[in-house]
């Protein structure tokens, strides 16, 4: 059983602050687009964000705060998701960035296939010659190891995943890179243009 956490807790400095996933792309929030893509692929969904969870109440999902203080990066959000998934009895957690509005319909299946083919406990999305470390598949059984690493000061996803073995699942970048993420107002505008060009519904 696979659960999913959407990492929505970034500080959005390049957007001027606030919750980046709540910014609109062609009339819908990036968070809505990410959740719509993930919902058919997993058994349950949660959000990872710090601060007042009430701002996400309209989505009716669990809002998981980082279990390690100090805004230490996406690994803390992954650990929050792992703890939640473990409490639900799930063996696998998929994470996705809340500022990725084009997540693919085969996201979870392709990550699992890559992991199984390589016989490793972790998988990461890749496209266009780049890996996307926050977008991955995680064995929930590794959560205590991750917790210990974070408490010891580890912040780099790639360094921690390399300790356990990680597969890379590749996606094409045409017509849209499924892992395009919007970090600036210009990126938001570009995302809207990409949607229009690809004929996606708003």
pLDDT, tens digit only, all 202 positions of the chain = 999 999 997 554 444 456 888 888 888 899 999 999 999 999 999 999 999 999 999 999 999 999 998 878 899 999 999 999 999 999 999 999 999 999 999 999 999 999 999 999 999 999 999 999 999 999 999 999 999 999 999 999 999 999 999 999 999 998 899 998 888 888 877 877 877 676 554 4
**Residue 200: closest CA among 184, 185, 180, 170:** 180
Half-sphere exposure of 90 (CA within 13 A, CB side): 24
169 contacts 114 by C-beta, under 8 angstroms: yes
**Residue 20: closest CA among 190, 132, 182, 194:** 182
DSSP assignment letter at 72: -
Q: Using CB atoms within 10 Å of the CB of residue 158, give its burial: 0 to 12 exposed, 13 to 18 middle, 19+ buried.
A: exposed
What distance in Å separates the CA atoms of residue 138 and residue 91, rounded to the nearest whole number?
Answer: 9
What distance in Å separates the CA atoms of residue 122 and residue 59, rounded to the nearest whole number?
Answer: 28
The CATH H-level (homologous superfamily) assignment of domain 2-198 is Spore Coat Polysaccharide Biosynthesis Protein SpsA; Chain A (3.90.550.10)
What distance in Å separates the CA atoms of residue 184 and residue 202, rounded to the nearest whole number?
Answer: 20
Helix (H, G, I), strand (E, B) or coil at 140: helix
| CB-based burial, 77-102: b 16+ in 10 Å, e otherwise | bbbbbbbbbbeeebebbbbbbbbbbb
The per-residue pLDDT for range 52-88, each reduced to its tens digit, is: 999 999 999 999 999 998 878 899 999 999 999 999 9
């Amino acid at each position: 059983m696979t659960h999913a956490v959407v990492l929505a807790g970034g500080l959005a400095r390049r957007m001027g602050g606030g919750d980046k996933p709540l910014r609109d792309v062609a009339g819908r929030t990036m968070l809505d687009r990410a959740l719509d893509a993930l919902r058919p692929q997993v058994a349950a969904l949660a959000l990872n964000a710090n601060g007042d969870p009430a701002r996400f109440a309209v989505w009716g999902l669990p809002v998981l705060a980082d279990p390690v203080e100090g805004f230490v990066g996406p690994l803390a959000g992954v650990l929050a998701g792992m703890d939640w998934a473990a409490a639900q009895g799930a063996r696998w957690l998929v994470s996705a960035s809340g500022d990725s509005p084009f997540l693919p319909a085969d996201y979870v299946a392709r990550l699992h296939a890559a992991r199984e083919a390589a016989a490793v406990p972790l998988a990461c999305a890749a496209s266009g010659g780049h890996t996307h470390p926050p977008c991955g598949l995680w064995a929930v059984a590794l959560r205590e190891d991750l917790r210990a690493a974070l408490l010891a000061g580890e912040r780099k996803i790639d360094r921690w995943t390399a300790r356990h073995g990680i597969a890379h699942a590749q996606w094409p970048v045409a017509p849209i890179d499924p892992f395009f993420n919007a970090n600036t107002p210009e990126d938001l505008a570009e995302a809207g243009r990409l949607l229009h060009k690809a004929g996606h519904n708003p």
